[in-house]
């Protein structure tokens, strides 16, 4: 599966996802500016992305923990997600995300 990620400068990156990995791990390892300070524990909100296009509606709903943690994110929008809470899967092939401002 592929993830189409837009960084904070507007550059678009196509990165190869891995089933079962979190989108945060894929973006971080691809060198995108994802701090992920807590390492994927849904405890810091520094892997905040906007899921764009139709993709937001296709994702499983946010957990209560993620909704709560988004309160510590900056510039939250209706399509905000913490990328450590999105798991790569074949049906997400082509998902488009934009890295949120820091």
Shortest Cβ 51–another protein spacing (Å): 15
User: How many other CB atoms are found less than 10 A from the CB of residue 22?
Assistant: 20
State the nearest-atom distance from the C-beta of 64 to another protein, in Å: 9
| Closer to another protein by Cβ: residue 29 or 91 | 29
The DSSP result for 21-87, as a single string, is SBHHHHHHHTT-S---TTSSSS-S-TTEEEE-TTHHHHSPPPPHHHHHHGGGSSS--TTEEEGGG-B
In the 8-state DSSP scheme, what is residue 58? H
Q: Given the complex with another protein, which of 86 and 99 has the nearer CB atom?
A: 99
Binding part of the chain for another protein, among 19-27, 34-42, 53-61, 84-92 by CB under 8 A, reads 34-42
Q: How far apart are CA 5 and CA 54, in angstroms?
A: 15
**# binding residues, another protein (CB under 8 A):** 22
> Between residue 36 and residue 95, which ones bind another protein under the rule CB under 8 A?
37-39, 41, 43-46, 67-76, 78
Which residue ranges make up the site for another protein (CB under 8 A)?
35, 37-39, 41, 43-46, 67-76, 78, 101-102
């Amino acid at each position: 599966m592929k993830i189409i990620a837009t960084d904070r400068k507007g550059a678009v990156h196509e990165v190869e996802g891995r089933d079962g990995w979190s989108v945060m791990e894929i973006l971080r390892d691809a060198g995108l500016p994802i701090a992920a300070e807590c390492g994927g524990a849904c405890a810091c909100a520094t892997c905040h992305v906007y899921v764009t296009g139709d993709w937001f509606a296709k994702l499983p709903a946010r957990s209560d923990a993620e909704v709560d943690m988004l309160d510590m994110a900056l510039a939250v929008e209706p399509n905000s997600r913490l990328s450590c809470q999105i798991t790569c899967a074949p049906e997400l092939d082509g998902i488009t995300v934009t890295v949120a401002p820091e």
